């Protein structure tokens, strides 16, 4: 690993002052489960790391029915899973965080880092950059694209967004707080994710001198949620497709359904098509199946990932059925 | 950079390079070679140690991240007179290893499980050890070893 200097500030302001206005020379360190790996592989080569784990205000978690759940960025996945209020009021979030196992990863990995982890695309992880370019041309369309995007993949980005938490957070209407030199801003989680269109652009709407400080999840009693994911092996793997669903039942019909797919596009992928299929209808297996079909109707699979269309369809269907069967 | 770490009950202070990995710190500076380096990509779990009681993969933790913490390695589990920890005994009794390379990491991951859940089911044991790979045993004997240890700890608690 390339040598670097290490700073461990106690205040957010101090941390922000240590971040430059361009990507590359400095990285923010929280749990490090993704970043340290990337540094060992030479994918990230910072000259300075700014550790944010010593900043007390980033490690708070609070819940109230009025304000909802506020999760500090450096709260670990284990701390999230062990929290009584999260267990009681946000079962979908528990399901998603639980899936991001192993135990060791849950202990070190943070909620903020889970959202900001870099894609698993093997071209990216082998040094070809987010756009997987060689001689100005993407290696993905004619390459080993079995794990790449089936939606939102017109190019030049073909990787899939790797976050387990983002789809359910979006379905629940969560926002993130970002702090930079000019103060704070708030973004819906969906807007945190962007599909890069040129070299050097990142997959997050986060400036190099901004820090993700908090995730805020509204409290919505009566909303049923579920996450369903499909992976190659049970243990220690990223899903091939996942779906997160949040909905209400009123007078026997579905209201305000949110359906968000994960691991199928360069960003978490909401499906207004599936949501329209569900709205105002009586839940049934046929309806869930129709929503699954609607969610992948616009899919444009690459040469080796056609199978993911079927998986995404089934993930949506089963997440809907599972949410409907839940109490709440 | 100066760090202060309590390893197996003994506090050390060292001046380390920020890029030094915790596993190298433990093996090379502290001389505790029971923690193994396996895949170096945080997949295999051979390097698992406890940091403030929580299992972590020390090949993907910087030594500076461990500043101020308490670390337990496999060397820290046995008693003062060399008395094996119930988990170490369990791996012995139930043949929970063949080559032994994954064993220190397995035992420390199992240690965290038993500290959180003293009576795990087989499914819970398998889930807790998901981050640790063994290429010899097929895991059956490892699961039995952890069950053995859980039973032993329970029996010890009853006699205490």
**Annotated domain spans of chain A:** 57-116+161-217, 224-325
Q: How many residues are there in chain B?
A: 160
> Tell me, what DSSP letter sits at residue A260?
E
In which band, very low, low, confident or very high, does the pLDDT at A114 lie, cut at 50, 70 and 90? very high
For residue A234, the chain B residue with the least C-alpha distance is B130
SS3 content of chain B, % helix, strand, coil (to 5): 40, 15, 40
Is the pLDDT reported for residue A295 higher than 80? Answer: yes
Q: Across the interface, do B64 and A37 touch by the CB < 8 Å criterion? A: no
Cβ atoms of A191 and A283 closer than 8 Å: no
* CATH numeric code, A57-116+161-217: 3.30.465.10
Structure tokens at B10: 């003994």
Q: In chain B, what are the domain boundaries?
A: 2-76, 86-159
pLDDT at A302 over 70: yes
> Cα-atom radius of gyration of chain B, to the nearest Å?
15
DSSP B28: I
* Average model confidence (pLDDT) across chain A: 97
Distance CA A113, CA A272 (A): 28
Q: Where are the alpha helices (DSSP H) in chain A?
A: 12-17, 35-40, 77-82, 84-89, 91-99, 103-108, 111-116, 122-123, 166-171, 189-192, 272-278, 285-296, 307-325
- Check whether A262 has a pLDDT greater than 70: yes
Distance CA A209, CA A180 (A): 6
Q: Does the pLDDT at position A116 exceed 90?
A: yes
pLDDT at position A13, please? 97
Mean per-residue pLDDT for A68-96?
Answer: 98
Q: State whether A2 and B19 contact (CB < 8 Å).
A: yes
ipTM for this prediction: 0.96
Window 235-264 of A, Cβ < 8 Å to B? 235-236
The answer, for A281 touching chain B at a CB cutoff of 8 Å, is no
CB B108 within 8 A of CB B55: yes
Question: Does the domain at residues B2-76 carry the CATH identifier 1.10.630.10?
Answer: no
% of chain B with per-residue pLDDT over 70: 100
CB contact under 8 A, A6 and B45: no
pLDDT in tens, A208-239: 999 999 999 999 999 999 999 999 988 888 99
Written as six digits, the tokens of B141 are: 């004997």
Strands A48-51 vs B48-51: parallel, antiparallel or unpaired: unpaired
- What's this model's pTM, rounded to 2 decimal places? 0.97
CATH superfamily of A224-325: CO dehydrogenase flavoprotein, C-terminal domain (3.30.390.50)
CATH, domain range B86-159: 1.10.150.120
Give pLDDT, residue A188. 98
| The pLDDT value given to residue B1 | 95
Average pLDDT estimate for A183-202: 97
Q: pLDDT band at A327, cuts 50/70/90?
A: low
Indicate if the pLDDT at residue A241 is higher than 80: yes
What would the two tokens of residue B98 be? 């063949």
For chain B, list residues whose CB is within 8 angstroms of any CB belonging to chain A.
1, 17-19, 21, 40-43, 45, 48, 51, 54-57, 60-62, 64-65, 67, 109, 112-113, 127-128, 130-132
Select from A6, A101, A107 the Cβ nearest to the Cβ of B56.
A107
Q: For chain B (length 160 residues), average pLDDT per consecutive 10?
A: 97 98 98 96 96 98 98 94 95 97 98 97 97 96 98 88
Nearest Cβ partner of A4 from B18, B54, B61? B18
């Amino acid at each position: 690993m390339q040598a670097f200097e290490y700073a461990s500030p106690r205040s957010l302001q101090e941390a922000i002052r240590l971040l430059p206005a361009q990507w590359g020379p400095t990285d923010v360190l929280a749990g490090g489960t993704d970043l340290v790996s990337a540094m060992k592989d030479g994918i990230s080569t910072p000259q300075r790391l700014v550790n944010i784990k010593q900043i007390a205000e980033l490690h708070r978690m609070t819940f109230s029915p009025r304000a909802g759940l506020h999760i500090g960025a450096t709260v670990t996945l284990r701390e999230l899973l062990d929290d009584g209020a999260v267990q009681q009021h946000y079962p979908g979030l528990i399901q998603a965080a639980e899936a991001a196992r192993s135990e060791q990863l849950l202990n070190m990995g943070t909620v903020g880092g889970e959202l900001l982890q870099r894609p698993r695309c093997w071209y990216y992880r082998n040094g070809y950059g987010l756009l997987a370019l060689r001689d100005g041309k993407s290696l993905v369309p004619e390459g080993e694209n079995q794990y790449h995007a089936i939606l939102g993949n017109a190019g030049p980005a073909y990787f899939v967004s790797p976050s387990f938490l983002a789809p359910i957070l979006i379905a629940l209407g969560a926002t993130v707080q970002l702090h930079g030199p000019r103060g704070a801003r708030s973004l819906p989680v969906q807007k945190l994710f962007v599909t890069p269109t040129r070299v050097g652009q990142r997959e997050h709407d986060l400036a190099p001198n901004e820090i993700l400080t908090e995730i805020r999840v509204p409290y919505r009693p009566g909303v049923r949620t579920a996450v369903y994911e499909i992976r190659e092996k049970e243990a220690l793997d990223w899903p091939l497709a996942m779906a997160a669903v949040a909905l209400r039942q009123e007078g026997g019909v579905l209201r305000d359904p949110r359906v968000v797919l994960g691991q199928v596009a360069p960003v978490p992928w909401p499906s207004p098509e599936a949501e329209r299929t569900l709205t105002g209808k009586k839940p049934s297996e046929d309806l869930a199946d129709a929503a699954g079909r609607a969610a992948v109707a616009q899919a444009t699979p690459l040469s080796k990932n056609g199978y993911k269309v079927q998986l995404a369809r089934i993930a949506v269907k089963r997440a809907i059925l599972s949410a409907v069967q839940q109490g709440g | 950079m100066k760090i202060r770490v309590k390893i197996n009950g003994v506090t050390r202070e060292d001046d380390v390079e920020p890029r030094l990995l915790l596993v190298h710190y433990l093996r090379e500076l502290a001389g505790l070679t029971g923690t193994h380096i396996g895949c170096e990509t945080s997949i295999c779990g051979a390097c698992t140690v406890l940091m403030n009681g929580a299992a972590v993969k020390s090949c993907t933790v910087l030594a500076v991240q461990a500043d101020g913490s308490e670390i337990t390695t496999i060397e820290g589990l046995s008693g003062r007179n060399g008395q094996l920890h119930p988990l170490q005994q369990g791996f012995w009794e139930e043949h929970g290893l063949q080559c032994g390379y994954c064993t220190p990491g397995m035992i420390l991951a199992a240690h965290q499980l038993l500290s959180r859940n003293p009576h795990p089911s087989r499914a819970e044991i398998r889930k807790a050890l998901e981050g640790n790979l063994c290429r010899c045993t097929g895991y059956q004997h490892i699961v039995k070893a952890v069950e053995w240890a859980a039973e032993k700890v329970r029996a010890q608690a009853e006699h205490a």
